[in-house]
A = this chain, B = another copy of it.
């Protein structure tokens, strides 16, 4: 008996025979004048040159509360699109673009996996078309302009202790979390405390992903609050007068990126905001462009349905004026066993009891999707360690409860492994959907947060710290309370306590801080320590990366 070492994602992606991006553009009916090639297999699309209305139906892929390794949401998103393509549908994928920080830090790009990947995998996971670099640059140009304004006389009377605009790098760099800058004496600047976030946590990333046009991008940039004056009045980017320059720095990045799946399905990969302090979805401009080009757009949102899907509905869909027509909830037997109390180290062992105990987590996420007026479809994403008995438990549960379910095996089989799911999705798309918002933006901040906690997390209520109460009062004073809420919460539990697995009940959520993001157009609501600059592990992924003798990249996962 011989074993073959399974291929890595990079090896599979490298072996794939890619079509020239001009062929992909042709197949998607993208006019030549809208196409800007970046190498042979990537292109930017000038969205203003794509004529027509965004009429394509949106299929949102979300998930149950994830294990640290994730449940394969991007992989299912890509595989589902490939399956729909196999079924002769006019389909496009719309995905977030990866951040280099995690790529260099912990193993794992963000381009799907196995035979359900967007390619060229290596380029997309590294610099791609430079979008994140443009966002880093715009973010840091703004920071430099702020400190320079203070250094040059501080006409706006910005209080250096109340600057909230941080610098960013697209790197996991723990040492930059808290810094003191402006040291070295009078000619070097004005000393103050500061810190760096990772680029995907920049408000400019959120702005970029929610802007509906270049003009709207500039308006949103102008609205960003960078800090407060000595008399505690907000200071906006428009007060500095640099929104034009920031827009110039972002205008090329703002064009959606066209790539392809391994099976040649066209994919737009554009924008990638954090799913905690931001909304965790690809750009509205990419989704809307895809909706002009295709009948079905398959897209995803970060973390579980309590985070990504909720924000997709309440923030992205609202700001983009569209609604999803179908929602797929990805789950795995591993994840459900974890929610049934199994330790990470034992997830590969059959455990029907724990599995049954974990199903309520899935049930809550399905209820959430139904709260938005949409009948969800469960995608049971196959892992090699799943047993027949375990699979039967899930299938029987679905049958008993009249729940749409499909098994997916797209990592191994590509689109073929997603055909069952694709057929279910097509059936749902045939049915009329009654999308309903969970709250109105005109509700009070407290009402909006309570609605999310009760209808999405399944909790009882909300506690606000004294600090949060003060901030709410200030936000009301400035008239900013009419914005939707962007919850920053642990992804591991439906509650704000990571160890509360399954479907916890009777809990309250503690809101510690509320941060207005006026450019993005939402209020970030912090419910615990949120890490906005990751650190590197003891053995960073970078140590494995290299160029071999043929000039090819190796060790990228």
Contact = CB atoms under 8 A, between A and B. Distances in A.
Contacts of A429: none
B183 A169 contact: no
The 4 tightest CB contacts between A and B, nearest first, are A244-B546, A133-B133, A178-B184, A245-B542
* Most chain B beta carbons < 10 A, residue from A153, A175, A182, A542: A175
A177 interface: yes
A553 B250 CA distance: 11
Given A36-B40, A245-B104, A188 B174 contact: yes
A6 interface: no
Contacts of A170: 137
Nearest to A172: B144
A140 B127 contact: no
Nearest to A44: B39
Contacts of A190: 175
Interface of A: 36-40, 44, 48, 100, 104, 123, 126-127, 129-130, 133-134, 136-137, 140-141, 143-145, 147-148, 151-153, 167, 169-184, 187-190, 214, 218, 241-242, 244-245, 247-249, 251-253, 535-536, 538, 540, 542-543, 545-547, 551, 553, 555-556
Contacts of A175: 144, 147-148, 151, 181-182, 188-190
A174 B189 contact: yes
A38 B392 CA distance: 51
A543 B144 contact: no
B547 A248 contact: yes
Contact of A244 (B253, B536, B555): B555
A39 B39 contact: no
Given A39-B44, A133-B137, 14 more contacts: A123-B252, A127-B249, A130-B130, A140-B169, A143-B173, A144-B171, A151-B174, A153-B538, A178-B182, A180-B180, A180-B183, A244-B546, A248-B546, A248-B553
Given A183-B180, A536-B144, A137 B174 contact: no
